[in-house]
Chains A and B, each alone.
Chain A
Amino acid sequence: MAEWTTVGSAGAVGSGELQSFGVQERQVAVANVDGDLHAFDDVCTHQQCSLAEGDLDGTIVECPCHGSQFDVTSGEAVQGPATDPVDVFEVREQDGELQVLLTEE
């Protein structure tokens, strides 16, 4: 059963920022695009680098190792070398907490 997991406090990820959180067994990145939060698997589908260590430009996150780019709103790989998308998750701020919903595959 999917459950919301609290990963930090509301406002932990400021506008234009990216941060990685451990959620159960996974690392999940949270990006703040002009106030909108987006959560996605923090493991690049090319060579498993942390995407949260990369740069966020608008809705595009760039892998710091090999330059793959993903759209944080959809998880889609928009530039190689990666071709497979990253999983995206629901994220919310509620009761002063930052929460991520991991959906079961």
Chain B
Amino acid sequence: MTSFVIVGAGLGVATAAGKLRDEGFDGDVVLIGAEPTPPYERPPLSKEYLRGESDHHLVRPPEWYEENRVDARFGVRAERVNLTDRVVELEGGERVAFDQVVIATGARNRRLEIPGVELPGVHDLRFAPDADAIREAARKGSKAVIVGMGFIGAEVAASLRQLGLDVTVVEFFGTPLERVLGPVLGGAIEALHRDHGVEMVFRDGAERFDGDGRFEALVTKEGRRIEGDFAVVGVGVEPVTDVAGDGVPVDNGIPVDAKLRTSADGVWAIGDVARHDHPVFGPIRVEHFDNAMKMGEHVATNLLGADAVFDDAHWFWSDQYDANMQMAGFATEWDDMVVRGSIEDRSFSAFLLKDGRLLSTFSMDRKFDVRRSMPLIASKGHPDRAQLADPEFDLRQLHPSKEESG
């Protein structure tokens, strides 16, 4: 009987397994995940879950796996994909044979290699127990210090402010999310947090964590000493590629072609760990919910022979306070930015263009534009600036299927 093995325990693993059964695949499906729990959704961990407003949400109910004859081995670490014997080697020595294997091991938090990082009271956030620990620290404390103001740092800052704590953030760049969004859009997020009372220190970094037996203060590279009851570090992630390396190449993640295949026969990779050769953006590694979900479904149909290119234009959201932000596409540099709405009023969409081509759209509290712009991004469209800037113009009119030829 054909056997598909999926290594990992995140969202993409659950959606891939589900899609295989939805598509009528009758063979063996084995999931091997290092986390002890079935796949759950991570976005709430920095938001509703951290604030104690919701429980964490399993992607599929625990009984689903057995009911669907999915051999789910959670809490078991896979050590290596062995291409010679075509087995996945598990810690403890067990070997699980596969016809095809999907690597979906995700990412782990980048760790600050500085003194004091091991002190109790210095947290990071990736798993539900991390969120539990931060929530408990927030319950006991009144002042938090956050290192890094990417999406995790910004969302945790917002949640902790919403819980009533004093929050100070230290960020290496000149605004929050500057590396992703540039200084203008980053400035809009800075203003949002300033209005909610977050103290922000930019162009500075963590030098060491001080404390007698537990965290008491962050000392920065510029010599500031910022005291707090606990600290949260959010300085990015790195792909978990430990199972690869033996015939499965590694290069900032696991490189896969447009169809999610690695260069090794019958070995695929999806989600945060996959460096995907995207037909629109080129090689890109994406660390967001929507991508993991869609790649999970996509790889399932490709395992069954669909042979299809993954060309999703990429989309994600971030909720901070009552602001809903969304972003689609991918841009590392752009030479033009068209704004629809008002950045000052924090209700806008920003279209990032290069040589007239739309690469990416970011919005704050304008719920339509980003998703409506995705077909345009996917088709490498060159939209009219005036139409982009016009709040009344419905971007769906520019969808490729609706464009006039010529």
Contacts and interface: CB of A to CB of B under 8 A. Distances in A.
Counting contact residues on chain A (CB < 8 A from B), the size range is 10 to 19
Given A55-B372, A81-B41, A64 B293 contact: no
Contact of B289 (A54, A81, A83): A81
A26 interface: no
Contact of A67 (B41, B290, B319): B290
B202 interface: no
A80 B289 CA distance: 10
Interface size class of B (residues with CB under 8 A): 10 to 19
Given A53-B367, A80-B293, A81-B289, A67 B372 contact: no
Nearest to B60: A83
B315 A67 contact: yes
Interface string A26-66: 00000000000000000000010100011100000010111
Contacts of B372: 55
B367 A66 contact: no
A75 B244 CA distance: 42
A67 B371 contact: yes
Contacts of B367: 49, 53-54, 64-65
A64 B325 CA distance: 11
B324 interface: yes
Contacts of B15: 80
A38 B15 CA distance: 29
Interface string B306-331: 00000000010101000010000000
Interface of B: 15, 41, 43, 48, 57, 59, 289-290, 293, 315, 317, 319, 324, 367-368, 371-372, 396
12 contacts: A47-B319, A49-B367, A55-B368, A55-B396, A64-B368, A64-B371, A65-B324, A66-B317, A67-B371, A79-B293, A81-B43, A81-B293
